[in-house]
Amino acid sequence: MSGDAELFQKDVKLELSKFRTKTKPTLAEAVALRLEKKDLDKKADADKLKEIDLRLKALTDECSKSAVASCAVIKANLKKYTFDQKDARGLVKWYADIVDKDSGIDLGGDVKLWGDLSVEKKEASLILKGRF
């Protein structure tokens, strides 16, 4: 692995670690709300259920914004480095290994963080799939 690839890999891991740290309280709140929602009587607590659903949507949006911010940092870092050792898909080996092994980062519930990275185009994307 070239020096640039190693540095970029460290940058990506650091940014994903920051994302997880930043969203940890959001995820904890989402889990608590989902448990509370599960225990409510749907007919008697319609207003509370609506309030919980709105808060869960806000938490999903908050996580999405964090993913966009992390993606912007990864894109900026991507433009600083040059890479080699690409596979047939145009992916750097270490990133191809991640893509082949993991199917998104599980954020809890039905929510996963997915990503795409094009070394040749110097583009990256992080996408939040699902809702809390």
Per-residue three-class SS string for 41-101: CCCCCHHHHHHHHHHHHHHHHHHHHHHHHHHHHHHHHHCCCCCCCECCCCCEHHHHHHHHH
Tens of pLDDT along 36-58?
Answer: 888 887 667 788 889 999 999 99
Describe the strand order of the beta sheet including 111-118 as a list of residue ranges: 105-108, 111-118, 123-129
The answer to whether the beta carbons of residues 56 and 64 sit under 8 Å apart is: no
Q: How many CB atoms lie within 10 A of CB 129?
A: 11
Residue 37 vs residue 103, higher pLDDT: 37
* DSSP SS3 for 122: coil
**pLDDT tier, 92 (very low <50, low <70, confident <90, very high otherwise):** low
Q: How many CB atoms lie within 10 A of CB 117?
A: 23
Work out the average pLDDT over 17-37.
Answer: 90
DSSP3 helix / strand / coil % (the chain, rounded to 5): 60, 15, 25
* Mean pLDDT over each residue of the chain, to the nearest integer: 80
The answer to whether the beta carbons of residues 126 and 74 sit under 8 Å apart is: yes
Tens of pLDDT along 105-132?
Answer: 777 777 888 777 776 777 777 777 777 7
Say yes or no to pLDDT of 28 above 80: yes
Residue where the block lists tokens 């080699």: 84
